[in-house]
Structure 1
């Protein structure tokens, strides 16, 4: 396929930090982004061609995106798959990943059933539509268990561990109704693989170790500190997931490593993901450039690691929302092995992801890089 620059326009539903980093990666390729997002001057706005201020499920906004773009994609699962499908048909603009894939992944119960039907290993689960269902799930799966809202949960929102039947009413109310109960996995560690589907090829980045606290991703270690057998099994499962899905793009595949070295799929994101932020400095082609290449049907870039990498998320350390002003950046900027990424959010909230720090060094071990990233993050604070 012959390419020329300026090469294409990509329409993106969502203009948060993922859209921002996608825009940063698209520019050198000659690709322009137009985003739709309900927040005026959203984080992506400074680095993309234009923003349409509209809700994620605004049909007219998605239609305008399609008319201005060669392909539609999304950086948030709040996009409406039915409207995207209708717009695609009306304008003949392709959507990647496909609306059907988005529809499958938006609902955690539908997602689990699709994985189960494909023979991909996942935790045991039950559908929960009432307090009685939750108590029955506990009897079947064992207490404690993990209760997940079927739709809309992220960064720990919508997920709640339930210790026993006495907590069922409060837990069911907290997740807001229709839910999914899963056995609580006593995992060795959490892992992730950023998988990529292109026009006629697939690839995957090295297996990454993810460290969560209170259901929020705090840091990444790439490649993961696991043995070769676990690494290979994680990659096999990730490619099985890619085979199950439809459409082009980057997919964040979150995994559990069990005590016996097994791999279970936790959740899938049909877009670039926090677990892949290390690829900006640590891989031949970042997950964001890769997503742009993939949705356009262009040849994929290298997913090979250039060096070990550790990423630490910069989280809001405030007690209540306030204007975002980050202090202590001098230490990061003066460290040759470190890179600072600021997401451009106007307001900092408790534990909100505001940016990240990545440490890379081909001659350093992952333990030293992790210590560096932690020390640099500890030096950052939000001024009041």
Structure 2
């Protein structure tokens, strides 16, 4: 017979203490779950809102072992966690790790990730492994140009990705990638979508599909519901559910998708953790992706993934030309706007295009006088952009 759950609950150890760790801690508190985070940056963004921080590198065996000794469950908020080390610590301490280190190992290598998806029939863009310029040119003969060359490991927020327009650029692009690579066929997509999925002990759930707007390979906005036909959103849900079945271990998964030609849904990439495109759920859903992750990895029942109202999330990125101390100006309009939420990530320095926070704007659940849900979302998006653009890190005094 399972031990009845109680509150206060367990301690959750998190490898990584950035903005995702910060928002995990904010969501864990009301559940009676305390967080201890491991991060190499002293006084990391999560530190002010969690129980404690262990200062150490993500692959520091002693630090990860200490984290496990102080926690009842382990998870991670960054793919730079070491799956082999997490496996060893799990075996040594008996502390469960979710999602599974095997899942992290699969996702860390984009080629291995794509192979795993393709093997079970999950739709993905055509792709090839490339070890040198000759192989890249051969692959482009099959896939055509333009195409996208991706570092197999370590890419994040556009880093490690490089478009290629001609086989003549093969050497230069691989030099830019700087390591093992793969190439994907260009997808002439209608829009980029994402589904935040969550796996519990014996249940799987998904949030409504969101539409993502990227520029310079960095997520700028997420619009929910996505401005796509219901059939497209349903297909995105079905593909995301197939992805979740492949993943091993409890927790939240960010599943990035393309709505391609003829409304085909293709999986772009997967994150085995809460995802930037799921930040809208804090105000826009019954239980946020962060609450769901805490619930899932600690073995608690999942909350509702139902959407409360149309919602737009827009990132606050560094608009400076060089690194400087972070002070966000012009937040008055955000704070004075009904249904707007400001989220500050607690980073001490701002640099160009660094994610520093986000603004969420929610609608009124269809009762605003407009019968067109799409138009209502468009209005929200326009207003959210105004709020974002009013805020700046540039001192104009």
Q: TM-score range by the shorter chain?
A: over 0.9
Give the whole-Å Cα distance in 2 for the aligned partners of 1:183 and 1:165. 13
For the pair 1:42 / 2:63, whether they are aligned, the reply is no
For the pair 1:366 / 2:377, whether they are aligned, the reply is yes
Give the whole-Å Cα distance in 2 for the aligned partners of 1:74 and 1:40. 18
Shift of residue 143 of structure 1? 1.1
SS in 1 for 2:263: coil
Residue number in structure 1 paired with 2:182? 180
Residue number in structure 1 paired with 2:277? 275
Shift of residue 383 of structure 1? 3.5
Residue number in structure 2 paired with 1:108? 110
Shift of residue 3 of structure 1? 1.8
Q: 2:70 aligns with which of 65, 68, 76?
A: 68
1:80-123 alpha-carbon deviations (Å, 9 max, x no partner):
00000000000000100000000000000000000010100000
Give the whole-Å Cα distance in 2 for the aligned partners of 1:126 and 1:15. 34
Give the whole-Å Cα distance in 2 for the aligned partners of 1:147 and 1:120. 21
Residue number in structure 2 paired with 1:157? 159
Shift of residue 368 of structure 1? 1.1
State the aligned residue count. 384
Q: Is the 8 A contact 2:25 2:34 kept in 1?
A: yes
Q: Is the 8 A contact 1:130 1:177 kept in 2?
A: no
SS in 2 for 1:26: helix
Give the whole-Å Cα distance in 2 for the aligned partners of 1:278 and 1:23. 17
Q: 1:375 aligns with which of 382, 386, 390?
A: 386
TM (norm. structure 1) is: 0.99
Q: Is the 8 A contact 2:149 2:181 kept in 1?
A: yes
Residue number in structure 2 paired with 1:19? 21
Q: What 5-or-longer segments of structure 1 have no aligned partner?
A: none
SS in 2 for 1:382: coil
1:125-148 alpha-carbon deviations (Å, 9 max, x no partner):
000111111111111111111000
Which 4+ runs in 1 deviate beyond 2 A?
none
SS in 1 for 2:54: strand
Give the whole-Å Cα distance in 1 for the aligned partners of 2:135 and 2:34. 48
SS in 1 for 2:163: strand
Residue number in structure 1 paired with 2:268? 266
Give the whole-Å Cα distance in 2 for the aligned partners of 1:27 and 1:266. 33
Q: 2:92 aligns with which of 80, 90, 104?
A: 90
Give the whole-Å Cα distance in 2 for the aligned partners of 1:181 and 1:33. 39
Residue number in structure 2 paired with 1:30? 32
TM (norm. structure 2) is: 0.96
Q: Is the 8 A contact 2:311 2:377 kept in 1?
A: yes
**Cα RMSD over matched residues?**
0.8
Give the whole-Å Cα distance in 2 for the aligned partners of 1:167 and 1:351. 27
Q: Is the 8 A contact 2:313 2:359 kept in 1?
A: yes
Give the whole-Å Cα distance in 2 for the aligned partners of 1:185 and 1:160. 14
